[in-house]
Amino acid sequence: MPETITEKQAAKSELVRYCTEYKSTYAHSPLAFVHSFGCQQNVSDGEKIKGELIKIGYELTDDYSSAQLIIFNTCAVRENAEDKVYGTIGDLKHFKEQNPDTVIAVCGCMAQQKHVVEKIRSTYRQVDLVFGTFAYNEFYQMLWEVVSKRKRVFNISENSLDINEDFKQFREDKLRAYVPIMYGCNNFCTYCIVPYVRGRERSRKPDAVINEVRQLVENGYKEITLLGQNVNSYSYGFPELLRSINNIPGKFRIRFMSSHPKDASKELIDTIMDCDKVCKCLHLPVQSGCDRVLKAMNRHYDIAQYMSVIEYARSRSSDFSFSTDIIVGFPGETYEEFCETKDIIKTVKYDNIYSFVFSKRSGTKAAELEDNISDKQKGLWLRELLLEQREISSQWLSRFVGRTVEVLVESEGRTGEGYLTGKNDEGIIVEFAGNKKYIGEFVQVRIIKAMNWALSGELVEE
């Protein structure tokens, strides 16, 4: 048996023994607090970490102040995400002084960057363990070294390991589940740090994905979201995977994200339309409405190609729902070019947009470009874009008024007591009055009002 596997098993056994002895001494298991910043992929990674901790005897807590192990699973996509992490771990300096035996760990995308690791090493000495996105398979060895030797451990290995299917996620949400189908990215958009911190594309085998989804459906999950930095690059054929999952018996929905426009095909649209469980919506990040800016971003498509996907989908269904990502203030962007982005949201009529001011990421090519747009100007452009989208959303969402839609009820609503909230097939929030017994169920709702962020309706009783 390989030496690394033996070391992992030994470390796991020691941690189990540690947790058992801790419980016999303190009458409760050691507690772990795990918080994930950022995207759905990070949430999924955090669920795996929780699952591994439960295996060895930790219990989970939502109160970091009572925890013997604190883990922050980090995001590096934008500067403000990193600032949040630095602020959070900075706040724990005094806590660590009062609780020196508590292990504090930082992992994930931030922890894969050398300059971040060096900053934590020198400035945030309250942090005991730092490990990047390639080191999850060594989690037990790293944790045991910290616990047993009381030494700081840093692991930013850049070796792309085979996908480990032994991880079992601990899912707090018993209704909706994230299922990664691939990891990493080969696109190298000039603004994006992801290929550098998550590595090149690696796809899970179809059988592993299908079996996981089948088990989730058997366990009562009603919505499955397939995850990948670019699901269209799934090595074994993404449309084929969608069709296979669609054939799994049971009442559930299939969502996925994200799709790269350069790889979004007619076959993908046809598959979405042909599969009754696949939601009729597509998150298709345009990033900019200007061809020159798209080229500077290294996006490998132009607006004509992008619109061909939109037009084909709308030819199959005029109501087909699109959402998108947009970067405002990319280096060198002019106001006239920004206005081309405003034009694209008017043309497409997105149900939702996720828009952000350009964030310089150290190590990317865009970070080296001259940025002559002030932060104030970028902020004004972003506000202008959001106001435009607000008006578009209010008008476009009105297409549902008078219709009856199927809603997966997720929780109590924000409108007030006695209201429920969920999403329709297109991923749009729907609020309506109803009994809490419907939470977790599919119901029919007649839409009576459209707002710029959601729909309001009334329950259709069977």
For residue 348, what is the domain's CATH number? 3.30.750.200
Domain ends where: 279, 295, 330? 279
- Range list of H helices, 67-219: 79-90, 93-98, 114-123, 139-149, 194-198, 206-218
Domain count, the chain: 4
Give the per-residue pLDDT at 168. 81
Choose the final residue of a domain: 248, 279, 310: 279
DSSP code for 346: H
Q: What is the pTM of this model?
A: 0.94
Look up tokens 């550098």; give the residue: 196
**Closest among 243, 172, 171, 178 to 213, alpha carbons compared:** 178
What pLDDT does residue 462 have?
A: 67
Residues of the chain with pLDDT under 70: 1-5, 159-161, 462
Q: CA-based diameter of the chain, in Å?
A: 68
Find out whether 352 and 397 touch, Cβ atoms under 8 Å: no
Residues 66 and 178 in one domain: no
pLDDT for 160:
59
Has residue 167 been placed in a domain? Answer: no
Q: Enter the DSSP assignment of 394.
A: H
Is 68 found in the same domain as 146?
Answer: yes
Is residue 145 located within the same domain as residue 29?
A: yes
Q: What is the CATH number of the domain that holds 273?
A: 3.30.750.210
* 241 plus 287 within the same structural domain: no
Helix (H) or strand (E) holding 20: helix 3-26
CATH number at residue 415: 2.40.50.140
Angle CA(299)–CA(304)–CA(310) in degrees, nearest 5? 95
Let me know whether 41 and 138 are in one domain.
yes
CB 447 within 8 A of CB 423: no
Domain final residue, candidates 376, 400, 424:
400
Partner residues linked to 446 by β-bridges? 404, 458
In this structure, are 193 and 322 located in the same domain? no
- Specify the CATH number for the domain of residue 119: 3.40.50.280
The total of other beta-carbon atoms located within 10 Å of residue 147's CB is 20
Domain that holds residue 117: 3-155
Q: Is 168 within the bounds of a domain?
A: no
Is 424 found in the same domain as 316? no
Q: Does one domain contain both 28 and 125?
A: yes
Cα torsion angle, 242, 281, 275, 312, sign: negative
Is 163 inside a domain boundary?
A: no
Query: In angstroms, rounded to a whole number, what is the distance separating the alpha carbons of residues 415 and 412?
Result: 9
Shared domain for 204 and 135, answered yes or no, is no
